[in-house]
Amino acid sequence: MKLGVIGCGKMGGALAEGIIKSGACSGENTYLYDSYADAATGLAEKTGAHVVASNAEVAQHADAILICVKPQGLIEMLGDLDATEGKLLISIAAGVKIAAIEKAVQNKHRVIRVMPNTPALVGKGASAFAKGSCATDEDAQLAMTLLESVGYASEVEESDLDAVTALSGSGPAYVFLLIESLVSAAIDQGLDPEVALQLASQTVAGAAEMAQQTGESPSVLRENVTSPNGTTFAALESFRESDFRGIVKKALDAARDRSIELGS
């Protein structure tokens, strides 16, 4: 397979690096383009990929193309692919629906739409994707292979992608806010800022790893940590009094609704 990457910023770069590092595609068979030339050149130096001069040239070389451009520029950019057909286009543009992409390329290319997230930068991404009307099971398997090179991936219906955006697409920001809040509170209680940051970050990472590895539900894991009338119990009671679950639901609903607005 020959892979193209259009847009070599943080997410495009993370995906390309992960894919090449995993062996899913070699640098020799990867072609990069970014309107900011230094982004493509820097990524090529890390991966051994080729830098080409245009979006159209990426399409000439590649069988599958990762499109990692901003949503507002996607439809116009797709016009650069008019001279080719039969490619697999994998778009990460938030909110831009498969039907709009297929219409823009006049159904000359197969389309998969992906919602990744930024932990792909460290090989811990969480991605979901949906197939377009012409995409095949083989295309879905290829997308799965590419995305799993930088973390977890799952195939969903396109109608689920707004919820995916709210959960995992925007989710890292919620976790960073939690870490930030934990650190701030710990500093107020007298802890050294660096120690507080390391303890908070490792606690979040460790809890997530336990949730993944033990197979236990989060509620069971939470109960296992909570002694009757102990310190954890006191903290959780405070969360309950503040309607923590309601706050989280309201936040995810807001993110989902904004994703729907962007898509329309």
Residue 99 has, within 13 A of its CA and on its CB side, a CA count of 4
User: What domains can you pick out in the chain, each with its CATH number?
Assistant: 3-158 (3.40.50.720), 171-263 (1.10.3730.10)
Q: Model pTM?
A: 0.90
Sheet with 64-67: list strands edge to edge.
50-51, 30-33, 3-6, 64-67, 88-91, 110-115, 125-131, 151-155
73 against 240, higher pLDDT: 240
Which helix (H) or strand (E) segment holds residue 91: the answer is: strand 88-91
Tens-place pLDDT, residues 107-145: 999 999 999 999 998 889 999 999 999 999 999 999 999
pLDDT at 29 exceeding the cut of 90 = yes
Asked if pLDDT for residue 253 goes beyond 90, the answer is: yes
Closest among 70, 98, 95 to 258, alpha carbons compared:
95
Token duo for residue 130: 């949906």
Structure tokens at 74: 């996607």
Question: Is the pLDDT reported for residue 264 higher than 80?
Answer: no
